[in-house]
Structure 1
């Protein structure tokens, strides 16, 4: 197997890490990088694609849930173009909903697929219309989907994934080229990425939790070496314009092309595409680390970092925008490995990776598919439920 299919990654910093409430990433970077002695936790990908064009590890299967422009089987709803960021939501009947953004203009918005407790598609419908370039977003602890518009005057829209409807604009979360948002239910704050070359990393503190009507928006200021463990403090900014356009722009730190953002276990993970990095901010300490930097690992399988999610086993899954269309994962035993690969989609990108509430199914999309029409997949198999 080619070296890019798995590469050990460590030595990003000299000290031990203490990320998350359980110190999950402690000592991840204890040894120098070297080729891994074996595949990732799920084994090697198959040598040939399945019927849906996916290379998967042994024991995993795929099915196509939806194709852009076609009616979702089991519903009367045509699936949107350019499916992007997504998340799953548990429903009272034991089923779940997968919400998916549409990164198009005009009329991007969000669609959703409703599943029964057994995983059959029961319905599909729109939960947001009339918005532009809805790229990524994030789920809230109270069961709504925050959809982010990726353009200079973009906003965040809060949507109810449980039924057809129209989202509510949340201007207090800022006016900028939004990408993704992660909600910290313990500290009661939101963290947001901005997808521009001079973007910032933002924090929003609601005036009255969990209402997003008003609150304080701030941009991160990083002090120290991010490869050794830097500290973050916060600079108040106006929600009416990007931080880079405000008088205090020089007081905040530039993050080069913010992409995916996900909260798990007291840590906010996010990616920046222009320097191919995966970051981790430990909220209790304000400590910021670079978990992965492609420039430090020539031949690594992970390039074009984009959407990110975390499994029940605290594996960090990262979608690739382009490259060889892999979904890669970062594991605590110092490996970056590909989990799956979509074959034959050379002009597309992976997006919207999200686990079902029980952790047994993974959803993701090839945004432009083979012919410009997106394809949304479900992957089922023996995903690990606990951290090793």
Structure 2
């Protein structure tokens, strides 16, 4: 990997409960808490000592009851008895949707099935506290679909959450809202306030504004020729290409690919601050996830195809790298409920084919910090 030499502006932002109070303390390049990356393994995955990888699905190949979808993107894990489920979006037009992999307690894949079909460019999304998956369309007037990871209930469209070029969603159970990012060069940061927590069929869509105030979007479901949501409130604050989104302990973290920034919205302070300002080799910031202990994991879209850790003590370092896949991007990082396994995909794999059979979905096991 290349060394990171960058500074970032940090002030009064809580990183999973640890206050970043000193603006002079910058994020710095450092050694991963897991140690340096070793040579790539048989799957082409470079990992620290004590970690191992395996391929659990490939686009266009049979797994469970389905052919695994092309262009695997955002994902999440859900408890399932003594096992777990990993869901994954498909970022292709017309047939996008999402699929699920079911695992037994020993990690064996026992089933795979579709949980959403016939939708467009399902990019990222987010899990809910009531164990559903929000699959988001990254298209003009895109929608949010609430899906059942267990495959027993049909998907439901949630238009009250807005029609725009959706990227990711992060539920905040403490304040009973859902944060949403928008993948436009002048995209906005939204929150959806359900009329009833746990029911996303109705509620209010707000947009974050330049004076650190949330204001209601007048028309969350505009028609084709109407003013788009990001243009309806003149004081709305804009972000360059909103991507992944993750909530933890009073802070919603989200990435913006246009300027390679990681942002942090502090609920208590009602402010948004950049905690990573680019300028290093953490390139193409995209999907983001985290663990209760405070570590964040940021996946790269391009760059040198790494997942990087951002620790509460302000160190940024790679925890894995894919070699020979420079025409791809890393998507859908998600931990199992016990934190022992990390799932993610290479959207286009070694072939670079987005709509073809290039996608690869991986599992990494090892002594992850929880």
TM-score class, shorter: over 0.9
Match 1:304 to one of 284, 289, 303: 284
2:73 to 84, 87, 95: 84
The answer to whether the Cα contact below 8 Å between 2:7 and 2:277 also exists between their aligned partners in 1 is no
1:276 maps to which residue?
260
Superposed CA offset, 1:325-382 (max 9, x none): 1111111222211111111112100000000000010000000011221000000000
State the 1:119 CA deviation: 1.6
Using the TM superposition, give the Cα deviation of residue 86 of structure 1 relative to its aligned residue in structure 2, in angstroms: 0.2
Q: In 2, distance between residues paired with 1:248 and 1:187?
A: 25
Instruction: Output the CA distance in 2 between the equivalents of 1:20 and 1:196.
Output: 26
Structure 2 unpaired stretches of 5+: none
1:100-179 superposed matches below 5 A: 100-163=88-151, 166-179=154-167
Match of 1:330 among 298, 304, 310: 310
Aligned partner of 2:34 in structure 1 is 42
CA distance 1:362–1:160, change in 2 (3 Å): same
Higher relative contact order (CA 8 A, sep 6+): 2
CA distance in 2, matches of 1:244, 1:41: 44
Structure 1: gaps (5+ residues): 224-230
Which is further off, 165-174 or 82-91? 165-174
* Structure 1 residue 233 displacement after superposition: 3.0
Alignment partners' CA distance in 2, 1:232 and 1:333: 30
CA contact (8 A) 1:106 1:133 kept: yes
From 361, 365, 374, the counterpart of 2:359: 374
Q: CA deviation at 1:164?
A: 5.4
What CA deviation, in whole Å up to 9, does each residue of 1:7-39 have, x standing for no partner? 5x65514x4x241573x14246433566x4x51
Aligned residues: 362
TM-score, with length taken from structure 1: 0.88
- Cα distance change, pair 100–164 in 1 and its aligned pair in 2 (3 A): farther
1:237 aligned partner = 218
Whole-Å separation in 2 of the counterparts to 1:56 and 1:102: 26
Whichever structure has more strand as a proportion of its residues is: 2
Matched, 1:57 2:48: yes
Once the 2 structures are TM-superposed, how far is the Cα of residue 244 of structure 1 from its aligned partner? 4.3
User: What per-residue deviation string (whole Å, max 9, x for no partner) do you get for residues 23-69 of structure 1?
Assistant: x14246433566x4x512111111x2101010101110000010000
Kept in 2: contact 1:326–1:341 (CA 8 A)? yes
Counterpart of 1:80 in 2: which secondary structure?
coil
Shift in CA distance, 70/221, structure 1 to aligned 2, threshold 3 Å: same
* TM score, norm. by length of structure 2: 0.93
Q: Structure 1 residues 118 and 169, CA, compared in 2 at 3 Å: closer, same or farther? A: same
Q: Do 2:13 and 2:264's aligned partners in 1 also have CA atoms closer than 8 Å?
A: no
The structural deviation recorded for 1:238 is: 1.6
**Aligned equivalents of 1:246 and 1:108: distance in 2?**
25
Shift of 1:247: 6.5
Give the Cα–Cα distance (whole angstroms) in 1 for the partners of residues 194 and 103 of structure 2.
32
The CA distance in 2 between the partners of 1:247 and 1:293, in whole Å, is 26
- Find the aligned partners of 2:265 and 2:94 in 1 and give their Cα distance: 34
Note if contact 1:233-1:286 (Cα within 8 Å) is conserved in structure 2.
no
Does the 8 Å CA contact 1:108/1:134 hold for their aligned counterparts? yes
